[in-house]
Amino acid sequence: MAVESDDRLIARIRSGDNPALQALYARHHVKVFRFALRLLRNEQTAEDVVSEVFIDVWRNAASFEGRSEASTWLLAIARNKAYSILRKKQEEHLDEQEAAEIEDAADNPEVIMQKKTKGDLLRACLSRLSVEQREVIDLVYYHEKSVEEVALIVGAPVGTVKTRMFHARKRLSELAQAAGIDRGWP
Amino acid sequence: MTGNTDSGDEMRAIEELLPWYAAGTLDAASARRVEEALAREPRLQASLRLVREDKDETLLLNQELGAPSGQAWARVLATTQAEPRKPTLATRLASIAGRAGAWASRRPAGLAWAGAAAAVVIVLQGAAIVSLLPAAIGPAYTTASQPAAPSEGATVIIAFAPDAALQQVGALMQKHKASIVDGPRSGGLFRVRVGDKSMTKDQLDAIVADLRAEAVVRMVLPASDR
């Protein structure tokens, strides 16, 4: 039996077809959850974002114009919601740009040094990147989004996306270097 | 191919494209540009190895994150059930025609058959809808636990699999001598009469168990009004 395209499912959702929403949810909820969780670092909050994303899809399916993939649209909604939550959590004087650039301190350098394999170390370093750097790395490598799709999701020009990815990689190498892995780059 | 090393600007431009090259998401022209630069520059090859390493660890990191609990969907369902929209006949027919078109376009004869196939399928599907949904159908999106019209048979509430085809649902009804008496209601639930006469709880439980084993059935419960 043929798999119905995301566009067709969204067309059905537009007309109030709840099973179509369920099918779209089944197809995308895990990736939306993981994207939100990497940004928010809290499972319950990430789960709330997943619910809100698909409720938004139900309410606003008519606004989906099919110019990008449905998964790109879903991730953009998830990002907006996650950043809104992050903004609320920040001190009043901290704006979104600053908040996005702050590195996560969950795994400090001492903790990273205790990791055993090179893979463990690299994953710990990936977790230490700033929210902005984590999101671009995830979108490119895990969600397999093109430069243009990442630009759509994060709402930045293509050139900025490329530069952001370059700096994320550079920062990752610096963190790895500090953890004892000399990658010889940049 | 010049044999010369690339300028700093070109190196940086290619460096910036490497993550998308490794992910296979570059357009053909950019991918070719990267490949040509890789053939010239050993430094870029070393960089690509690091990018692939980063990519592998990012995949692993994400795959270890698990999935949301069933509560996430329960919240979606509760909200959307409270905000139902009734599908129009036109959108239902458009949906059926779309599926028929997709089916026909995959046939060897291609698109030429799509229109005719869609028309035939619409007629057949229309007949099937009429046979599956008798006059007893009430207003869509009322509460599924609402009492049905009095009847001799026992009824169950069924949610079909999201990708269930109408033909499969029809075959299921025939196999179990069942008929849809109402639906779809909110959440895509249907009220289905099973059996010709009142039956014992054990008999109904057995039918529910049989239906639950069907691939096209996502959920089945005895109706609360029996």
pLDDT along chain B (226 residues), means of 10: 66 96 97 96 95 96 94 94 65 55 52 48 44 37 38 72 73 81 68 75 82 80 63
State residue A12's pLDDT score: 95
pLDDT at residue A100, as a whole number:
62
In a domain, B21, yes or no: yes
- A91, A98 Cβ separation under 8 angstroms: no
On whether both B164 and B117 belong to a single domain, the answer is: no
Domain A1-89, second-level architecture? Orthogonal Bundle (1.10)
The pLDDT value given to residue A1: 60
Measured between CB atoms, does B126 come within 8 Å of chain A?
A: no
* End-of-domain residue from the set B115, B132, B149: B132
Q: State the Cα–Cα distance between residues B180 and A185, nearest whole angstrom.
A: 66
**B76·A51 Cβ contact <8 A:** yes
Stronger pLDDT, A28 or B154, i.e. the higher one: A28
As for the ipTM of the complex, it is 0.88
Assigned domain for B25 exists:
yes
> Which residue on chain A is closest to B85 by alpha carbon?
A16
CA distance A56 to A46: 15
Cα B44 to Cα B15: distance, rounded to the nearest angstrom: 7
Q: Average pLDDT of chain A? A: 89
B28 touches chain A (CB under 8 A): no
If asked whether residues B149 and B212 sit together in one domain, one would say yes
Round to whole Å and give the CA distance between A120 and A71.
29
Percent pLDDT > 70 in chain A is: 85
Mean predicted confidence (pLDDT) in A100-125? 70
Distance CA B214, CA B217 (A): 5
- The model's pTM is 0.63
Q: What is the CATH number of the domain that holds B162?
A: 3.30.70.80
CATH of domain A103-181: 1.10.10.10
**Tokens standing for B164?**
């269930």
For A60-64, A144-148, B14-18, B201-205, which range has the lowest pLDDT when averaged over its residues?
B201-205
In contact, A56 and A77? CB cutoff 8 Å: yes
Query: Could you tell me how many CB contacts below 8 A there are between chain A and chain B?
Result: 167
- The residue of chain B nearest to residue A43, with distances taken between CA atoms, is B68
**Intra-chain end-to-end CA distance of chain A, in Å:** 49
B86 with B31, same domain: the answer is no
Domain count across chain B: 3
What are the tokens at A38? 């990497």
pLDDT at B144: 41
If contacts are CB pairs under 8 Å, which of residues 10-69 in chain A contact chain B? 11-12, 14-23, 25-26, 29-30, 33-34, 37-38, 43, 46-48, 50-51, 54-55, 58-59
Domains A1-89 and A103-181 share a fold: no
Residue, of A32 and A105, whose pLDDT is higher? A32
Domain ranges of chain A: 1-89, 103-181
Comparing B84 with A156, the larger pLDDT belongs to A156
Q: Which residue of B has its CA nearest to A166?
A: B16
B217: in domain: yes
Of residues A112 and A63, more confidence is placed in A63
More confident residue, B193 or A55: A55
Same domain assignment for residues B79 and B110 = yes
Considering the domain architecture, whether residues B127 and B149 belong to the same structural domain is answered as no
CA separation for the pair A32, A38 (Å, rounded) = 10
Backbone angles phi, psi at B191, to 5 degrees: -95, 125
Question: Which structural domain range is residue B121 located in?
Answer: 70-132
Please name the residue ranges forming H helices in B112-198: 114-132, 166-175
